[in-house]
Amino acid sequence: MRAETEQADFVYGGSAPANGGGAGVALSIYADRPHLRAVMREDAGAAGLNVLAASPLSDLVEAGESGSTGLGDVVLIDCPQADAATLAVLARLDMRAARGGARLIVSTQVDALEDVFACMDQSAPVLLVDPDRAERVLALGQVLAGFPSGRLRELSDDDRLMLLRLTEQVGQIAGRMDRLDPRSATPVPPAASPPSVQPASAGQPQIPDARLVRRIIRQRQLRARFFDGDLFADPAWDMLLDLAASRIEGKRVSVTSLCIASGVPATTALRWIGQMVEAGIFVRISDGTDRRRAFIDLSDTAVQGMARYFAEIALTAPAPI
């Protein structure tokens, strides 16, 4: 089997093509499927990148702690199933990338998402869930757009948000062209838990009763029963509402649960989660008893913002949607 795939593997150096948006950026690819390696290599070449290596994921696992092979500036990893050995390698790679500044793009499946997310908390990797080719290309473009001037233009916060929205729109179009079927948002079941009181300093606004927030969420989801859900896609706000309600209820929210609450595909939701963490709106919290788990919560700033928002709209609308 190894002999059959050797033709698809290669390691070489050299200069990047003179044209192409990623001139001077080096990239490595690790994926067990030969066809996927070939596709990723082709797309990287089309972007003008210097591909240092395209090898099976097992090569990265076998390298272990040695780290003898240069990572390059960007590393593409396909990890559909994460066993203990692979997760250990991903954790070491995450730390190494954080130290060296390499950007990681990791694709996996929804069943392995929690494990992969939990073990990669240092380098802010771009995570993809069951991505198609268009989503991989968009992720690569997202990473390349963040490189500093001299290689690629540095983006402002406004530029990043615009790019994120554009990426989401292009991804929706590309996905529909591939599948020829509109996506359907996954509904979030209504919460049955009784509300709890959100503590706050005297005189400070509070996030309202959890039942009100859950009712707003259900009202927003109801629209998809009568219209195409993509017309109303607003993942950032849907996740803010879900985290606000969960915070009042004393519940911890996993990344998978938050992706579902966003009402958009997991890969799109993960892009938004990453941007919201970077913007200081979401915070990532590791499970103190199980390092293989991590949760997402609102930052203190976001809690204050949500509380002020609900206090303001309470003056004009009893049930805002």
From the number of C-beta atoms within 10 Å of its C-beta (0-12, 13-18, 19+), residue 14 rates as: exposed
Dihedral of CA 137/138/143/146: which sign? positive
Identify the pLDDT of residue 138.
87
pLDDT of residue 142: 82
pTM: 0.71
- The residue among 116, 134, 152 that closes a domain is 134
Which residues of the chain register pLDDT less than 50?
A: 1-22, 65, 67-68, 149-155, 176-202, 320
- Write out the two tokens for 24: 């001077």
66 occurs within a structural domain: yes
Is the residue at 179 inside a domain?
no
Q: Which pair of structure tokens corresponds to residue 189?
A: 């079941």
144 located within any domain: no
Q: Is residue 156 in a domain?
A: no
Domain range for residue 88? Answer: 2-134
Residue-wise pLDDT tens digits, 81-137? 888 888 999 999 999 899 888 999 999 999 999 999 999 989 999 999 999 998 999
CATH number at residue 129: 3.40.50.2300
Per-residue confidence (pLDDT) for residue 67, from 0 to 100: 47
- Sheet strand arrangement including 294-298: 253-254, 294-298, 282-286
| Residue 138 CB contacts under 8 Å (≥ 6 apart), including other chains | 167, 170, 171, 174
178 part of a folded domain: no
Final residue of a structural domain among 97, 119, 134: 134
pLDDT computed for residue 130 by the predictor: 93
Give the Cα separation of 311 and 300 in Å (integer): 17
What is the rounded distance in angstroms from the CA atom of residue 286 to the CA atom of residue 116? 13
Q: Which of 73, 80, 75, 72 is nearest to 33 (CA)?
A: 80
CATH number at residue 277: 1.10.10.10
Report the alpha-carbon distance of residue 11 to residue 8 in Å, rounded.
10
* 217 and 280 together in one domain: yes
Q: What is the pLDDT of residue 179?
A: 44
